[in-house]
Amino acid sequence: MKKIAVFGIRRLFTTGGAERHCEKLYGKLHGDDYLITIYTRSIYLYVGWHSATIKIHPVWTFKWRPLEVPIHSLLCAFLCIKTRPDVVHIHNIGSAFVVPLLRLFGLKVVVTMHSRNYLHSKWGRLARLMFRFGEWCLGMAHRVIVLTDPTMKYLIEKYNFKNVVCISNGIDIPHQLPIKHDEDYLLYVGRFSEEKGLLDLVKACNDLDYRVIIIGDTFAKSTPYKTAITQTVTSNNIKFHGELTSYELGAWYTNASLVIIPSYHEECPMVLLESLSFGRPVLVSDIEAHKEFALPSFRYFEKGNIDNLKSKIVYCYETSITTAEKKAYLELLAKKHNWDTIVDKTKEVYDTIR
């Protein structure tokens, strides 16, 4: 049985893209061939996994963002050096700075690059330097997994990496959940950070007579961007519902009249995958990651253009999704974002490292 050690995520069963990716991947990967240990961060709620072949191991770290990831990653690296797993799988470039240390001690290392985090405005200068250093360290890993072809092209052109493979993010086609929310509403799912474009959505919806449901983050930790959001909301139709479980989120997806994704930057957008899997109509910004899905042109708006976003919301709200459009989405997901295929490709990465 091959032992796999995993770190780089906060915890499982939450709304983060990398966290949900790991939840699905290792939920399907474990079994007779693999014994998986996932090192989560102890400062977040511990959620166990009822399986003989998956172990959740919370590891202490500082509850202070500048040191949270570096300290956790170092401690996880030391644990891996001590326990000697067959493969160490790091998720996110924020933890990839330990790759040279792991290689020094003879461990086999895989890194999944979920995002170019240094493009996110919420991070300061030092954090962005750490992310870029982590990206540079990817060249020392045995394999680097990216989620999209443009990211693979970027790494090859900039660093001439020879160890990069593209394995797309996956999605399950869900069974329709019972209708719990009988009113029409627009739906936003995601963090409250600048690259997600939520402030643009709030500005666009203030003057529209639509109910707007916002899910995926809270105001418990204040940031300038979150403050700007609360100060901008003038409509009583805009409601915040915080973080939800996957099942609760599924009910909101099932009944959404329109899912809006106004992001300025994404890698392989999980919210778009989930929306399409539920057969919901979407409206997305015209960034490269969204254009890879080749949606009908009216489902794109110009990134950052509030007036264009507002007019497209009105149009898409009044335009029903067709059966043919739903079928095309399901065929795309089954072909390119099938979890069974993704698990098989990940197994191949683990089993071919020399």
Q: pLDDT tens digit string along 137-178?
A: 999 999 999 998 889 999 999 999 999 999 999 988 876 665
| CA 203/CA 305 separation, integer angstroms | 11
Cα–Cα distance for residue pair 321/325, rounded to 1 Å: 6
Q: Across residues 70-90, what is the average pLDDT?
A: 98
- Could you tell me the residue ranges of all domains in the chain? 2-170+338-352, 186-335
Q: Is the pLDDT of residue 209 over 80?
A: yes
Task: Provide the residue type at 250 as one letter.
Answer: G
In this structure, of 92-101, 181-190, 234-243, the range with the lowest mean pLDDT score is 181-190
Model confidence at 248, pLDDT cuts 50, 70, 90, reads confident
**Sheet of 258-261: strands edge to edge?**
238-240, 212-215, 186-189, 258-261, 282-285, 300-301
Q: In CATH terms, are 2-170+338-352 and 186-335 the same topology?
A: yes
d(CA 302, CA 290): 12
Confidence of residue 16 (pLDDT cuts 50, 70, 90): low
Q: Give CA–CA dist 139/161, Å, rounded.
A: 6
Residue percentage of the chain with pLDDT more than 70? 95
Mean confidence (pLDDT) of the chain: 90
Q: Domain 186-335's class?
A: alpha beta
Provide the 3-class DSSP secondary structure of residue 29. helix
Can you tell me the mean pLDDT for 190-203?
Answer: 93
CB contact at 8 A, 22 and 91: yes
pTM value?
0.85
For residues 14-26, give the mean pLDDT: 80
Contact yes or no for 309/201 (Cβ under 8 A): yes
Share of the chain above pLDDT 90, in %: 65
Q: Lowest mean pLDDT: which of 211-215, 239-243, 301-305, 309-313?
A: 239-243
What's the token pair of residue 318? Answer: 């009044």
Contact 26, 42 (CB under 8 A): no
Instruction: Quote the pLDDT of residue 30.
Output: 73
| CA atoms in the 13 A half-sphere facing the CB of 103 | 18
| pLDDT beyond 80 at 17 | no
Q: In the beta sheet, which residues pair with residue 56?
A: 38
> At 57, is the pLDDT very low, low, confident or very high (cuts 50, 70, 90)?
very high
Instruction: Copy the structure tokens of residue 331.
Output: 């065929």
Question: What average pLDDT does range 272-281 have in this prediction?
Answer: 93
Q: Which two tokens stand for residue 271?
A: 């919210």
**What's domain 2-170+338-352's superfamily in CATH?**
Glycogen Phosphorylase B; (3.40.50.2000)
Q: Residue 128 pLDDT more than 60? A: yes
Residue in the block written with tokens 């490269």: 288
Residue 225 in this model has a pLDDT that exceeds 80? yes
DSSP 183: S
